[in-house]
Amino acid sequence: MYDRHHLAREGWRVVAPTLLFLGLSRLPVRAEVKLTEHADRIEATTPRYVLVVKKHPLRFEIVRGGKVVLAASGGFCVAGRETVPFGDLSGHSARSRELELRVSTPRENVVVAYHLELAPEQIRIHAQVDGAANVERMGESFSLASGGHWYGGAVDQAHLWPLEAHEWSADPFLATSNHAAPFWMTSSGVGVFLDTYDDIAASINQGGDGLFRFAYLGLPAMHYTIFVGENIAEARDLFAAAAGKPRQRPPDCVFERPVWSTWCQYFSKVSQAGVVEYVGKMHDGGWPGSVVIIDDGWQTHYGDNEFNSKFPDPKAMVDEVHKRGYRLALWVENFANPDSDCYRQGEEKGWLVRDASTGQPARIQWWNGEAALIDFNNPAARESYVSSLKSLMQRYGVDGFKFDGGDAEYWPRAGALSVGPLSRNRYTDLYAEVAAGFELNELRVGWRTQPLGLFNRMRDKRASWAETDGLPAIVTHGAIQSLLGFVFNCPDLIGGGLDEGFKPDEELNVRWTQAAAFMPIMQLSYGPWNFSKPSQRIIRQFADLHSKLWAARFKPLVERAMENGKPIWSPLFYVFPEDEKAYLVRDEFMVGESLLVAPVLRSAARARDIYLPAGEWRDYWTGKVTSGGGVITAFPAPLETLPVFERVGRGSTGTAK
């Protein structure tokens, strides 16, 4: 059974069967609402939109400017393994900007109570099932066609662009592999947001059904918010305001100069000698850099934050890195393998997530073997973990950490115990909150961590040209990561780094560097000094360019993101929401509102087609002005460069919404 106190903690009040009116303290502005009842529908009219409540059966439509911008296809619950669709409106009442609805179902004595709160730019919907036992899930469905093109949800599925043209489902929908957020936005200017840590499921066009569906799992209740913008950009910004703008940000240096990781150079065979050699070649070669990350392979055991025998004098190594002008960060994880002191101590003191049936540490499989999860819901466990990291900073001068793991998928499936109630996605964000306590952090997974202002990286990519998880994916994945509010982001390791032991592709590294130079944070790994002189020259040119772009482009955009949560870079459709063709462009992106970048994402390509929205565009390299509003075919793109255009008459950051 559900817990009313739990629902209240999630930010809404439970609607009693008597349909009590609720307070609306969280709604930002009072909406002027005019209610009109017809035989088959109720219309709630606000200055921006009309909410149409159809009675037989209950369906919602949102109309803006005389056009339906979102249409619900019906709510449902699953009880006793039987799907129960919601039926007709059987009763309703209204007061000011609130609607109370009572809805029948095919089951006798089972009804659904809806409570709708209307504000000028959003509708908050709360519903619960009364009279049914053992409700397994409760949800809503919407017509994909009514919203136009759909984007959002899981970053690692953003290459499915736009979403409605593919099939996607997640049951449960978890913060795993990369950032995710329970928010979807449409080209019609609507956004749907499930502001919760409860377990949910979601799907797009599953089985070709033409629907967006979501469901709360294990609860006879649901709540969600519909944002109604003038366009997709405003709907996204309404979500960003609700999610919360960043309260802090990474230090200037990680934006201004590339971050370097030892992974693709040494993989897990990294050693003190290797690190010293690595930073020596960086420094002596004049390569710009801010932070050197020692990746996986430095610990005695997974879970123990102590240097192994490959690092005989960590203090001397860190001092050498600092002497060369770089900061140093270490790869860390949220797992404790059984051979670690962390595991033994955690088992004794109850600092590990436990199996619900045995009370012992719940063991899971991760990419480095069997482990238990550190219980960050336990204040003592959390403090012990943080202390172990601060000890590395105090003893050796370590500057920060790359926080890997935290994926909700590793929460023990058979059930698990913490010191208090804890959902899988909340566990992910607890780990992120630990990371936020360190100025220099890097993280790849989060759910509702937008306000933490973390150094967010995309998940590891393969050293390939594949659209799903290679170079092209840094554009689609990163652009959606930005729109979901994880604005200080990085396309992970240049050249790809998912698989250990791969042979780096020289052309791929060049093209990856060129694209990453125009993203907020760029990260090199495999030493470019290993490539040919021409490739070294190009990589150096774009690494230097990235540094120059900091003051001219990125710093104002970073400061703007701190003020209002707007993205630093984005898909074309965010800047040009009225341009229907922009919604299908997945291989270009905008920096601010003025710079259009068209990276080369295909092997051996020396030209590419470019879509330029309407207006005048100046070639970033030559100064030649071109009129937009169509596609330029076979635009030259020799290996030495990539096409970049600047909007004529726009400042470096622009002022578009």
Do 309 and 166 belong to one domain?
A: no
Across 210-238, average pLDDT: 98
pLDDT category at 503 given cuts 50, 70, 90 is confident
Cα dist. 482→38, 459, 502 in Å? 43, 14, 29
Instruction: Report the percentage of the chain scoring pLDDT > 90.
Output: 91
Do 311 and 458 belong to one domain?
A: yes
- Of 568, 601, 621, the residue that ends a domain is 568
Do 443 and 527 belong to one domain?
A: yes
The span from the first CA to the last CA of the chain, in angstroms, equals 44
- Coil, strand or helix at 142: strand
Strand boundaries in 20-149, DSSP class E: 34-37, 41-45, 50-54, 59-64, 67-79, 82-85, 89-95, 98-104, 111-119, 122-130, 135-143
In a domain, 528, yes or no: yes
- Residue 309 phi/psi, 5° resolution? -70, -15
Residue 11 has pLDDT above 90, yes or no: no
- Comparing 22-36, 60-74, 385-399, the range with the smallest average pLDDT is 22-36
- Coil, strand or helix at 457: strand
- Of 208, 243, 278, the residue that ends a domain is 243
Domain of 639: which CATH number?
2.60.40.1180
Do 32 and 82 belong to one domain?
A: yes
Largest Cα separation within the chain, whole Å, is 81
Name the nearest CA neighbour of 411 among 304, 337, 335, 349.
335
Do 209 and 227 belong to one domain?
A: yes
Do 521 and 494 belong to one domain?
A: yes
In a domain, 60, yes or no: yes
- pLDDT score for 9: 37
Do 238 and 272 belong to one domain?
A: no
Say how far apart CA 382 and CA 107 lie, in whole Å: 47
- pLDDT score for 31: 63
The better pLDDT of the pair 651, 59 is held by: 59
In a domain, 509, yes or no: yes
Domain extent for 11: 4-243
Across 518-547, average pLDDT: 98
Return the bridge partners of 644, or none. 597
In a domain, 654, yes or no: no
Instruction: Report the percentage of the chain scoring pLDDT > 70.
Output: 94
pLDDT category at 651 given cuts 50, 70, 90 is low
Domain of 524: which CATH number?
3.20.20.80
pLDDT in tens, 248-285: 999 999 999 999 999 999 999 999 999 999 999 999 99
Do 193 and 46 belong to one domain?
A: yes
- CA neighbours closer than 13 Å in the CB half-sphere of residue 510: 23
- Of 568, 590, 616, the residue that ends a domain is 568
pLDDT category at 29 given cuts 50, 70, 90 is low
Do 538 and 417 belong to one domain?
A: yes
Q: Which amino acid would we find at residue 51?
A: L
Domain of 166: which CATH number?
2.70.98
- Coil, strand or helix at 215: strand
In a domain, 440, yes or no: yes
Using left for φ > 0, alpha for ψ between -120 and 50, and beta otherwise, residue 319 falls in alpha
Do 561 and 446 belong to one domain?
A: yes
Which residue shows structure tokens 């075919």?
A: 633
Burial 448-474 (b: 16+ CB within 10 A, else e): bbbebbbbbbbbbbbbbbebebbbbbb
Residue 101 has pLDDT above 80, yes or no: yes
- pLDDT score for 657: 28
Across 314-326, average pLDDT: 98
Say how far apart CA 548 and CA 530 lie, in whole Å: 25
Do 192 and 277 belong to one domain?
A: no
Across 477-492, average pLDDT: 97
Q: Are 46 and 116 in contact (CB under 8 A)?
A: no
- pLDDT score for 30: 60
In a domain, 359, yes or no: no
DSSP one-letter code for 486: -
Say how far apart CA 139 and CA 399 lie, in whole Å: 46
β-pairing, 354-355 vs 291-294, is unpaired
Q: Which amino acid would we find at residue 495?
A: G
State the average pLDDT for the chain: 94
- Comparing 133-137, 338-342, 482-486, the range with the smallest average pLDDT is 133-137
Say how far apart CA 39 and CA 201 lie, in whole Å: 35
In a domain, 280, yes or no: yes
Say how far apart CA 612 and CA 576 lie, in whole Å: 11
Domain count, the chain: 3
pLDDT in tens, 424-481: 999 999 999 999 999 999 999 999 999 999 999 999 999 999 999 999 999 999 999 9
- pLDDT score for 359: 93
Do 126 and 16 belong to one domain?
A: yes
In a domain, 643, yes or no: yes
pLDDT in tens, 554-588: 999 999 999 999 999 999 999 999 999 999 999 99
Residue 53 has pLDDT above 60, yes or no: yes
